[in-house]
Structure 1
Amino acid sequence: MGNSFNKEPPPPVVLVPPLFDFPPLAARTRMLESSYRLLFGKLALKCLFEDYFEEARHFSTRIMLKPMDDPHVDLIATVSGPLDHKHEENIIGNALFRWQGDVADPHTFMDLFVSTSDPVLRMRSCSYYPKYGFGAFGIFPLILKERVSSEDYGVMGLRYGSGNLSFGVTLMPLAVKDELPKNAWLVGKMGNLTAGVQYEPQYGSKDGAKHKNLMNWSCAIGYGVGSGSPLTPSFNFCLELAKSSQFIASFYHHFVVQRRVQYPLQVDEVVGITNYIDFGFELQTRVDHTETSNNASDSTFQVAASWQANKNFLLKAKTGPCSSSLALAFKSWWKPSFTWSVSVIRDRCVGKWAYGFGIHVENIRDASYQRADPNHVMLTPNKEHLAEGIVWKMGKGPMLQADMTAGNFDGLPRELRPLDKIL
């Protein structure tokens, strides 16, 4: 009886809010892409530089819905266009219907895409066998307003993927001999180093052997640390020589930091909250000898950063030689969730300001995992903290120790677990 009055209070915890958008939508179709185009931090940089940065004087609307009765299918519909009726651009509408055989495996699927622009109707399909590491995929434009190239008649590909190796080839069935293959890639990983090469026969040669033209080859090497889960920090640095004419240097850093907060509903239990800060930089410059090598278009850079303060607010900013942009997004975690975003663009070349707006509705990605539960994603104190109490020591590392640092990802939602089996 007396023990019931002498219970120890629950240990203090730090809230871990869900990320705004994880996994990124591009990760659902990564089996249709060359691994060379997605690794080396390229996918993370693409999301950092593009997501929620609406085009100047334009709007975008996206609805992503999954029926509760059948989680194997979902629909994504988008509508975008100019805000000013004086523009000659038309409002574009797209819809993507997707079927996925295994809810837990996004690598085997089929989807149908319809649009008011080309292609009007397109089908994509992919089958991947994780036991053997092999997969096959195809992209077929069924209805086009005009077919002018071999790619307009369809693309097929074969790939292999494991934790340390990925290679594949993409072919066009109706292409002529000198257009085969459309592209081929080989990427390998050893420790924290990743290296890869890609072949795309876009330029000819004197003797007709396109593989001898260095302009058709690209290579990259990257150094990356991190588990692959966005709930832990990660870092990636990459050097790339694209088509033997353009040098690209980039890095992406994902921070997971903690700040003090007083949670009004749980003042004694909740002492802090986890924030996500992302920073990325990309420099592109030409290395071949051309007359236009001094133009701004041949040498450019861009820098971007984002800060997710909690589960509801996201702030992003990016800058480049000619323009700077600021984006603010607010997300409500209802079922489905709603996201409103506004972008402010400053074009320094013409000295004008512009705005863009977006709204997203979604119930595809389940991210309702913010809770005070050490069995899931909550950060729990170690014994030293329990004995001495919680003390905030700025500049001396994290206040609490994450359960994920020990490699225990079993309690995480499926979307947040590292992908160790596929490079």
Structure 2
Amino acid sequence: MWKWLFPPPPPPPPPPMVLVPPIFDYPPLADRTRMSVPAYDVLFGKMALHYLFQEYFENDRQFSAKIMIKPMADSHVDLVATISGHVRSEKEGNAVFRWQRDLCNPHTFLEISASTSEQMLLLKLCEYHHRSGFGIFSILPLLLENRRNTHDYGMIGLRYGSECLSIGTTLAPISLHGDFPINIWAVRRVGKLTVGAQYKADAFGRELANSYNWNWAIGYGLASTSPLMPSFNFGLEFAKGSQMVASFYQHIVVQRRVKNPFELNQVVGITNYIDLGFELNRRFNRNESQNLDKVSFQLAASWQANKNILLKGKLGPSISSLVFAFKSWWKPSFTFSISAGYDRSSGKTSYGFGIRVEDLRDASYERADPNYVMLTSSKEHLAGGVLKNWETRPIFQADADSGNHDKRRPMGNII
């Protein structure tokens, strides 16, 4: 009777939320094997720029099909297979089988690669001790008929990596041209500044003193251990004694208001990811008898509007390209992409398409749920600002701050 006369107050409305979609392709496949390549090759924004400039951009009448599978019975192994080529010509295929000892540490692994274009098997082993920072890796070509250079006989690498220093070398057990070692690198980070140097022996076996074998780079930027945090990088590289490369990359995390009839009423916004990249390459003329002066550039941008749609655009000296990709987060997930390129010099338009099947991760929108413990916050602290200051602030904002988004991302405390 008392409950009828004095009913309890109604429960408070659920708090407003901002949706956090998963990254379209995260982490990049190249990020999983970065401990078996020199740190110089993946820092200074190089990996991010390569993904921005190359991923989903197919050539004229080209297609690609990729399948990525992780068996349910054993999550330590996965398989990535790719078929690509012209629609009316011979196709190329390759497959990579990977075993990873620790799911949270991708730096210790075994990979077996097979390719129809090179007609060989490639065995890659990597062991990294996280506490000491020392690692060892080896790359061994198998079943190769013609071994013409030093790399065909295999390589062994030693490295040390910490939060602010990475040094290492790649050795050739069998050297054909006296290029021993074939690679040396050193990278140092101080605050937001990163400097590095790398020596690479070429097919002619040039000595360490030859400037054509040395690359130097300096970068300034803010790195990020999570795709939900913005980052940027300015890079300047002097390569091969006659090449200057200036680059810029920025990853922006923004929120925008959204009205989605398929979502709950308390969902007031959604997180977007915007990537911008620019690269200018200038070759200097060091020989008066040859005209080597050449300037090339490329500018690209991508926008992930939600978990399903990705738009990319690229502008070069003569070719402009656009990409539309759609991803369905079923089990497994499917990604369909179509690219179009326009050659301004010839007036020709080209098209390409691709399809991917992925079963490497489970991903969905993150949101508040008292019965579910999430790996990522739902950004409830941003929802109030999206509602309150909607008329006074621009549609995009970059005050995102969250924790790790994907437990498979390599540990961020290794340079």
Both structures adopt the same fold (TM-score exceeding 0.5): yes
Asked if 1:236 is matched to 2:264, the reply is no
Question: For 1:45 and 1:321, how far apart are their aligned partners in 2?
Answer: 17
Q: Which AA in structure 1 matches 2:306?
A: N
Q: Which AA in structure 2 matches 1:33?
A: V
Which residue of 318, 329, 340 maps to 2:314?
A: 318
**Residue of structure 2 in register with 1:160 after alignment:** 160
CA change 1:184–1:366 in 2 (3 A) is farther
**Residue of structure 1 in register with 2:414 after alignment:** 422
Question: For 1:235 and 1:401, how far apart are their aligned partners in 2?
Answer: 15
2:135–2:158 CA contact under 8 A, matched in 1: yes
Moved beyond 4 Å, runs of 4+: 1-4, 291-296, 393-403
CA change 1:59–1:168 in 2 (3 A) is same
1:15–1:270 CA contact under 8 A, matched in 2: yes
2:284–2:292 CA contact under 8 A, matched in 1: no
**Residue of structure 2 in register with 1:341 after alignment:** 337
Deviation at 1:393, TM superposition (A): 4.3
Asked if 1:413 is matched to 2:388, the reply is no
Question: For 1:266 and 1:38, how far apart are their aligned partners in 2?
Answer: 39
Q: How does 1:166-245 map to 2 (within 5 A)?
A: 166-176=166-176, 178-202=178-202, 210-245=207-242
Deviation at 1:322, TM superposition (A): 1.8
**Residue of structure 2 in register with 1:116 after alignment:** 116
Deviation at 1:95, TM superposition (A): 1.4
CA change 1:268–1:401 in 2 (3 A) is farther
Which residue of 286, 290, 295 maps to 1:289?
A: 286
CA change 1:295–1:202 in 2 (3 A) is closer
1:252–1:279 CA contact under 8 A, matched in 2: yes
CA change 1:18–1:389 in 2 (3 A) is closer
**Residue of structure 2 in register with 1:75 after alignment:** 79
Q: Which AA in structure 2 matches 1:390?
A: K
Q: How does 1:293-308 map to 2 (within 5 A)?
A: 298-308=294-304
**Residue of structure 2 in register with 1:129 after alignment:** 129
Question: For 2:7 and 2:28, how far apart are their aligned partners in 1?
Answer: 49
Deviation at 1:251, TM superposition (A): 0.4
**Residue of structure 2 in register with 1:278 after alignment:** 275
Q: Which AA in structure 1 matches 2:390?
A: W
Q: Which AA in structure 2 matches 1:12?
A: P
Task: Output one character per residue of 1:77-124: Cα deviation in whole Å (capped at 9) or x when no partner.
Answer: 1111111x2x5xx21111111111111111111111122221421111
CA change 1:180–1:295 in 2 (3 A) is closer
TM-score by length of 2: 0.91
Question: For 1:330 and 1:50, how far apart are their aligned partners in 2?
Answer: 17
| Partner secondary structure for residue 101 of structure 2 | strand
Asked if 1:14 is matched to 2:18, the reply is yes
Answer with 15-24 or 109-118: which moved more. 109-118
RMSD value, Cα:
2.5
CA change 1:230–1:403 in 2 (3 A) is closer
Aligned residue-pair number: 407
CA change 1:381–1:401 in 2 (3 A) is farther
1:380–1:403 CA contact under 8 A, matched in 2: no
CA change 1:323–1:265 in 2 (3 A) is closer
CA change 1:393–1:120 in 2 (3 A) is same
CA change 1:115–1:275 in 2 (3 A) is same
Task: Output one character per residue of 1:123-149: Cα deviation in whole Å (capped at 9) or x when no partner.
Answer: 111111101111111111101232111
| Partner secondary structure for residue 196 of structure 1 | strand
Asked if 1:107 is matched to 2:103, the reply is no
CA change 1:160–1:355 in 2 (3 A) is same
Task: Output one character per residue of 1:22-51: Cα deviation in whole Å (capped at 9) or x when no partner.
Answer: 110000110111100100000000000011
CA change 1:263–1:91 in 2 (3 A) is same
Deviation at 1:75, TM superposition (A): 0.8
Deviation at 1:202, TM superposition (A): 2.7
Asked if 1:263 is matched to 2:260, the reply is yes
TM-score by length of 1: 0.90
Question: For 2:412 and 2:111, how far apart are their aligned partners in 1?
Answer: 26
| Gapped regions of structure 2 (runs ≥ 5) | none
Deviation at 1:203, TM superposition (A): 7.9
1:377–1:403 CA contact under 8 A, matched in 2: no
Task: Output one character per residue of 1:389-420: Cα deviation in whole Å (capped at 9) or x when no partner.
Answer: 6331454697796452xxxx26x43136x833
Percent of residue pairs identical? 51
CA change 1:238–1:382 in 2 (3 A) is closer
| Partner secondary structure for residue 49 of structure 1 | helix
**Residue of structure 1 in register with 2:388 after alignment:** 390
CA change 1:401–1:250 in 2 (3 A) is closer
**Residue of structure 1 in register with 2:249 after alignment:** 252
Question: For 2:397 and 2:7, how far apart are their aligned partners in 1?
Answer: 31
Question: For 2:398 and 2:345, how far apart are their aligned partners in 1?
Answer: 47
Question: For 1:189 and 1:413, how far apart are their aligned partners in 2?
Answer: 25
Question: For 1:17 and 1:378, how far apart are their aligned partners in 2?
Answer: 10
| Partner secondary structure for residue 163 of structure 1 | coil
Question: For 1:255 and 1:293, how far apart are their aligned partners in 2?
Answer: 43
Question: For 2:308 and 2:244, how far apart are their aligned partners in 1?
Answer: 38
Deviation at 1:227, TM superposition (A): 2.8
**Residue of structure 1 in register with 2:363 after alignment:** 367
